[in-house]
Amino acid sequence: MNRKKFNVAVIGAGLVGRKMVDVLFERNFPLAKIEIFATRERQEIISGRPFLVKSTDESSFDGMDFVFFAGTEGEKGASRIFGWKAVEKGAIVIDNGGDFRMHPDVPLVIPEINPHHLKTHKGFIANPNCSTIIMLMAVAPLHEKYKIKKIIVSTYQAVSGTGSKAIEEIETQVHQYVNKQEITSSVYPYRILFNVIPHIGNLSDEFSGYYSEEVKMILETRKILDCQDIKVSATCVRVPVINGHSESITVCFESDPDINTCREILSSTRGVKVIDDPEKALYPVPIDVSGKDDVYVGRIRKNTAFENAIDMWVVGDNIKKGAAQNAVQIAEKMIEMSII
């Protein structure tokens, strides 16, 4: 067993960066030391421990084995400035941001699904988008048996995916509503309280009428599964939930899937839990899944409109498995595979 310990840097001290630190400690990652960097220096309590969060510059990567970039969806991440410079310093970069996911030299990895892609790494690995991770954890195990032809997915995405300011905004709107005040909004184009917004990201140039979050699910799915022929249609919606993304997924296969076999496959898949007893109203919901390591699947049933198709309801913690945990698992897998 590899018992070496590693020097780790986390770039970013927002929701995802803090969760990365939590996960590193929770999973007993073999740390020699851990340092946290952001845009400015300050003292912070993170994962119950005092940290001096330092300002990021090129010297931040000296002597580091792994550098985790927390990234922020919809923004140009620090990895654009510092990512490849960290690689030049000898570090393995694992980037949660979206800037390099489709770069041909950057593996895009969910460790339970395509760890073999890590063998071609050039020092820089990308974390998929949270919605893609949650979907593929449930879909990829079935692809191995039945071969996916197309996926139709609608997402119900929590405000934590936008960051701490979005959480603060919905909490403020609750306070304003209870106190019969005018409800104000600045993070989203509409108020999110008691509302849903079918708009995540910017409009795409590549797929007319699609927002960038939807395009990520299309392109990332094809790259991760090594299958450019899979057709994906996505509608991504922001909902008034604090944490935990939910997805309604229809999957069409080349061969006819057996529902009981699908349940058995998913029940035996590492990182997936099945809660599927609709007669007892048992299915996953985000309030129960928030904080959990696994992706949860329920409402598994034959689709009534398409041949060789099933429907399922999938829920996962977008900040944990959908971001921080997946990044740490990539590093763990690289250690396990002895490719660092």
Q: What is the pLDDT of residues 122-138, one digit of tens each?
A: 999 999 999 999 999 99
* pLDDT number for residue 75: 53
CA dihedral 84, 88, 89, 92 (to 10 degrees): 60
For the chain, the straight-line distance linking the first and the last C-alpha, in angstroms and rounded, comes to 14
Give yes or no for residue 1 having a pLDDT over 90. no
Average pLDDT over residues 91-99: 97
The stretch 168-189 carries a mean pLDDT of: 98
Catalytic residue among 117, 121, 143, 245: 245
What mean pLDDT value characterizes the chain? 96
- Structurally, at CATH architecture level, domain 132-318 sits in 2-Layer Sandwich (3.30)
Residues 316, 318, 320, 322: is their CA dihedral positive or negative? positive
Q: Which helix (H) or strand (E) holds 31?
A: strand 31-38
Domain boundaries, the chain: 6-128+323-336, 132-318
The domain covering 6-128+323-336 belongs, at the CATH homologous superfamily level, to NAD(P)-binding Rossmann-like Domain (3.40.50.720)
Active-site residue flag, 252:
no
Mean pLDDT value of segment 27-51: 97
Q: What is the mean pLDDT of residues 35-46?
A: 96
Q: Which of 130, 236, 252, 262 is catalytic?
A: 130
Q: What is the pLDDT of residue 77?
A: 79
Same fold yes or no, 6-128+323-336 and 132-318: no
**Is the pLDDT confidence value at 286 over 50?**
yes
DSSP conformation letters of 205-252: SSSTT-BHHHHHHHHHHHHHTT-TT-EEEEEEEE-S-SS-EEEEEEEE
Q: What is the pLDDT of residue 3?
A: 73
User: Phi and psi of 87, rounded to 5°?
Assistant: -60, -45
The 10 Å Cβ neighbour count of residue 294 is 20
Reported as a single tens digit per residue, the pLDDT across 298-318 is: 999 999 999 999 999 999 999
Mean pLDDT of 1-15: 89
On whether the pTM is more than 0.85, the answer is yes
Q: For 322, which DSSP code?
A: I
Is residue 236 annotated as a catalytic residue, yes or no?
Answer: no
